[in-house]
Amino acid sequence: MIGLILTLDYEIYADGTGSIYDHMIKPTEDFLSICESCGAKATLFVDVAELVKMRQLSTFINEVKEVEYQLRGAHENGHDVQLHIHPWWFNAKFNKGKWNIDDTMSTLCHLHSATISKYIRSSKQYLLDVLEPCTRKYSCIAFRAGAWSMMPTRNIHNALVSEGIKIDSSVFKWGKAHTPYMTYDYSNAFSNMYPWFFSPHNVNYTEESSKEARSCIEIPIYAEYQRGIRFLTKKRIFLMSRIKSTIVDDKSPMYRSFLSPVYDKVGLLIKRRAKKLDFCKCTFREMKKMIENIVKHNPQDGYLPVVAIGHSKDFIYRDDFRRFLLFLRSNYADIIEIVPLTTAANKYLLSMK
């Protein structure tokens, strides 16, 4: 059996532009509605650092309260709500109607373990405060790193374990980033789809010989290694142009690291890179082909959790997403179930015993 996990990163744009309602609340409302109409349960990775910072300002307080209402509703309806942190929000300043993001805080990984623990603890507490009053029991045990950055691994591994985080879903095989403030390379990741207990020394590797090494499991975002020319779809080009139109300073580290490679025409066409199972950016045909590839590896006597990703700000092509879920229900209902991350993780661990 395959447990497909639809994860939605719940956030505005990385440079602080965007609307809480237009880029978080409304698209997530539509996303959850489609999921529920198709019998699917999703996982929201909530950028808590962003919400905590915005909640401090009267300008955003009412919108943040709407966000919290939506999160409670999602949790009560059986969806998963878990922790996502973009640390550049911790030192962000709001001035003259614009957010100034701290690019030097692009990743938690360069901080001391105690400092990372402090940030994770306070962010986790925010979710507990919002969701523990619900009638359905809540626990925060899963994490996704901002910008998918889990390197260097030692300090963030220690912090996650100390704060009771048992699942990470940040890594996607062949993924890379190199900026003045953040570097990771997942070329040597253990797998593009199979989970592993990741080494405290390097998230790419599995190390199950000690209790410490079996403290946190990586359930990777499914990805395939494809030539750049296969990224040239109308959907991706539109989404990237939409993001670029919100950027005021195209010399910023955020622009250079995430957007400029897409416009590097030679590199785009020739080089291979990771294509994630992204239900906001992939076409229906791309998603269908990826599912066919995944099904080939379906364990006959076990359970395989497979992570797909999307972002609330990118959830525009509703019909493609609905078509994808209906396709799964019509063709693979006997071997694919769409479940929350924590549910899939528990089933996987039980199947391994």
Residue 3 to residues 82, 245, 246, Cα–Cα distance (Å): 17, 37, 36
Give the residue with greater pLDDT, 39 vs 249: 39
Instruction: Tell me what pLDDT residue 246 has.
Output: 46
User: What burial letters (b/e) apply to 206-226, b meaning 16+ CB within 10 Å?
Assistant: beeeeeebebbbbbbbbbbee
Q: Which of 44, 20, 7 is nearest to 313 (CA)?
A: 20
Confidence (pLDDT) at 9: 98
Contacts (Cβ under 8 Å, ≥6 apart) of 67:
20, 24, 25, 51
Return d(Cα 116, Cα 153) in angstroms, integer: 12
Q: Report if pTM > 0.85.
A: yes
Phi/psi region, residue 109 (left: phi>0; alpha: psi -120 to 50; beta: rest), is alpha
User: Any residues with CB less than 8 A from the CB of 79 and at least 6 apart, and which?
Assistant: 32, 35, 41, 42, 43, 44, 340
Provide the pLDDT for residue 264: 54
Q: Where residue 209 falls among pLDDT bands split at 50, 70, 90?
A: low
Query: Residue 286 corresponds to which tokens in the numbers above?
Result: 């791309």
Structure letter (DSSP) for residue 159: H
**Exposed/middle/buried for residue 34 (C-beta within 10 Å: 0-12, 13-18, 19+):** buried
The CATH number of the structural domain formed by 2-351 is: 3.20.20.370
Helix%, strand%, coil% for the chain, nearest 5? 45, 20, 35
pLDDT score recorded for residue 250: 45
Confidence label for 233 from pLDDT (cuts 50, 70 and 90): confident
User: C-alpha dihedral over 98, 81, 192, 152, to 10 degrees?
Assistant: 60
Each residue of 281-339: pLDDT tens digit?
A: 999 999 999 999 999 987 777 899 999 999 999 999 999 999 999 999 999 999 999 99
Strands 167-168 and 217-218: parallel
pLDDT at residue 207 above 90? no
Q: State the Cα–Cα distance between residues 213 and 110, nearest whole angstrom.
A: 20
Mean pLDDT computed over 9-38:
97
Give per-residue pLDDT as tens, 149-191: 999 999 999 999 999 999 999 999 999 999 999 999 999 999 9
pLDDT for res 265: 55
Query: Directed axis angle between helix 48-55 and helix 61-76, to 10°?
Result: 140
- Please state, in angstroms and as integers, the Cα–Cα distance from residue 298 to each residue in 3, 135, 173, 185, 319, following that order: 10, 35, 19, 27, 27
- Residue 214, pLDDT score: 78
**Torsions phi, psi of 75, nearest 5?**
-65, -45
pLDDT-wise least confident of 65-79, 112-126, 241-255? 241-255
Burial of 71 from C-beta contacts in 10 A (0-12 / 13-18 / 19+): buried
Work out the pLDDT band at 123, boundaries 50, 70, 90: very high
Supply the pLDDT for residue 114: 97
Q: Give the pLDDT band of residue 213 (cuts 50, 70, 90).
A: low
Residue 338 DSSP SS3: strand
pLDDT computed for residue 21 by the predictor: 97
Q: Is 123 exposed, middle or buried (0-12, 13-18, 19+ CB in 10 A)?
A: buried
In the beta sheet, which residues pair with residue 304? 2
Share above pLDDT 90 across residues of the chain, in percent, rounded to a whole number: 81
User: In angstroms, how far is CA 55 from the centroid of its own chain?
Assistant: 22
Short-list 136, 175, 159, CA closest to 309? 175
Task: Read off the pLDDT of residues 39-68 as tens digits, 9 standing for 90 and up.
Answer: 999 999 999 999 999 999 999 999 999 999
State the DSSP string of 90-121. Answer: TT-EEETTEEE--GGGS-STTS-HHHHHHHHH
Residue 243 has a pLDDT of 66
Amino acid making up residue 6? L
